[in-house]
Structure 1
Amino acid sequence: MTRSSKAACLAWDGASRPASRQRVFITGASSGIGAALARRYAARGDELGLVGRRRDALQALVDGLPGQGHRVYALDVRDRAALHAAAQDFLAGGPVDLVIASAGISAGTLTDAPEDYAVFEAILDTNVLAMVATFEPFIAPMRTRGSGTLAGIGSVAGVRGLPGAGAYSASKAAVRAYCESLRVELHGTGVRVVTLAPGFIATPMTARNPYRMPFLMPVERFAEKAQRAIDAGVSYRVIPWPMGWVARLLRLVPDALYDRAASRRKRKPRQGEHA
């Protein structure tokens, strides 16, 4: 766990900070959606706690952000103790208004390939259990304060199982169910839970996909729409909206028809495979 030089130069007193300035904790900030969300929230003047595996990427991101007081934590979100230590360090600087669990990984997997079991574990640990570990330290302070937002990044891939993506589809289906359960548990406490389900977003994660990606959206555009959805306190939203209609239709397709169509779809490459 590390702090940037910027982080060391300013510690905010939660009682004296400007009302419009929020404190936001984001995982998966090294690249992709997490980095785009960091840029979005920093641009409006918020104070950020940024978690990612790559210290150099985090530092480069922070060096380019407006404002001061941002803190960086270089760690693997699967390390629950390190993640909790980062959360407690950021909480020490004042109340946290928003937590975005954006960390996620994706890779093709096949159940009949024994070597893919470790990949299944890594994907489920990162995409699901690390989201639980991310939210854990913030719930009690938010509940006591009677305000705060927990936002989980899911995926349209969790709507129906996709060939060669058993781990990823399962993890994102679990994210939706988990966030819904958490939302119900926190109902009436003042703590909101928001689930965002991206469609195809132009990030390093989608760059290797060997299939057509309808409604592909630039990551900065996604971050803009995600921020609006979080500010509105929606319970669940698919971005971009046309993929929301696709998701609704997919739920209605009979299994026999879906199986026939989906089985012909190109699958995501497994680790070591070329697209």
Structure 2
Amino acid sequence: MSTSLAYITGASSGLGQALALRYYQAGYRLALVARRTEAVTDWARSQGLDTNRLAVYGADVSVIDSIVQAGQQCLVDQGIPDVVIACAGFSTGVDIRYREDLDVMARTFATNNVGTAATFHPFIAAMVARGTGALVGVASVHGIRGMPGHGAYCPSKAGVISFCESLRGELKASGVKVVTIVPGYIDTPLTQGNTYSMPFLMPASQFADAAYNAIDRGSSYRVIPWQMGVVAKFLRVLPNWAFDKLFAGRPRKPRSPT
């Protein structure tokens, strides 16, 4: 049985929960972070997980001191993680004609961008001193180009990609790897409300397998599923006039209820 430790945010549902189960199955101890700690505890019990191999930390990733304190507590209680996965995310449609959607945009950036950096922060010095570890940012194919109705989510995930790229360069000589995981459409509560087509929709368990393998190999950047990687490369080089023609009028992601 491995003594390695995986620290995962967003563990109460979706991708974070699927990754938690995959790492547990691989023999890891778990440090699981969520706002709804009871949901994580209930899920772990329902899966028959050994509670001696996991700890649950309550934190709001969008609040810097909250998520930093969770990381610091993990260091005290469980030691330095081998893998830190910033998986907590927030996604909803926005229409900036509405004043309240500016607040939604601020919450999106606080969770997806500052929250990712704050998730990594408590562990970087310790990992560098040890000379090993992996910091994993979970982005999205929606970070490749800006989609209608995604005026907050798309730029936030583009920011995750760029942030991880910057950090990868900073830590290259340290022995600490920085991995960017770029999910396509994965069947989770986050995508189940989408009203538009989702090509290559993948079950969360299959995503977790592919992400685990990419992180274990130390891949710097991986789009999952691979078919969406082909789509992402195509979108990167598509001229603006063609991109606009292709996506103008596409159904928008619904706004948050007000």
Which bin holds the TM-score, normalised by the shorter protein? over 0.9
- Counterpart residue number, 1:177: 162
Q: After the TM superposition, which segments of 4 or more aligned residues of structure 1 sit over 3 Å from their partners? A: none
| RMSD (Å) for aligned C-alpha atoms | 1.2
Alpha-carbon deviation of 1:38?
Answer: 0.5
Identity of aligned residues (%): 48
Amino acid at match of 2:188: T
Amino acid at match of 2:139: G
Amino acid at match of 1:84: V
Alpha-carbon deviation of 1:79?
Answer: 2.1
Which shifted more, 103-112 or 153-162? Answer: 103-112
Q: Does 1:206 align with 2:191?
A: yes
Secondary structure at the counterpart of residue 100 of structure 1: strand
Alpha-carbon deviation of 1:177?
Answer: 0.2
CA distance in 2, matches of 1:48, 1:152: 17
CA distance in 2, matches of 1:179, 1:58: 27
CA distance in 1, matches of 2:107, 2:70: 21
CA distance in 1, matches of 2:54, 2:137: 21
Instruction: Normalising by structure 2, report the TM-score.
Output: 0.96
* 2:7 corresponds to which of 25, 43, 46: 25
What is the total number of aligned residue pairs between the two structures? Answer: 255
* 2:55 corresponds to which of 71, 79, 99: 71
Alpha-carbon deviation of 1:65?
Answer: 4.8
* 2:131 corresponds to which of 125, 142, 146: 146
* 1:115 corresponds to which of 100, 105, 110: 100
Check the 8 A contact 2:80/2:123 in 1, yes or no: no
CA distance in 1, matches of 2:9, 2:68: 12
Q: Does 1:136 align with 2:118?
A: no
Amino acid at match of 1:79: V
- Counterpart residue number, 1:86: 70
Which residues of 2 match residues 232-271 of structure 1 at below 5 A? Answer: 232-271=217-256
Secondary structure at the counterpart of residue 50 of structure 1: strand
Check the 8 A contact 1:87/1:137 in 2, yes or no: yes
- Counterpart residue number, 2:148: 163
Instruction: Normalising by structure 1, report the TM-score.
Output: 0.90
Amino acid at match of 2:96: T
Secondary structure at the counterpart of residue 125 of structure 1: helix
Which residues of 2 match residues 12-51 of structure 1 at below 5 A? Answer: 20-51=2-33
Amino acid at match of 1:23: L
Check the 8 A contact 1:158/1:171 in 2, yes or no: yes
Check the 8 A contact 2:64/2:114 in 1, yes or no: no
Structure number with the higher helix fraction is 2
Q: CA-to-partner distance for each residue in 1:55-102, whole Å, 9 max, x for gaps?
A: 221111232353323110122112222212211121122221010000
Q: Does 1:223 align with 2:223?
A: no
List alignment gaps of at least 5 residues for structure 1. 1-17
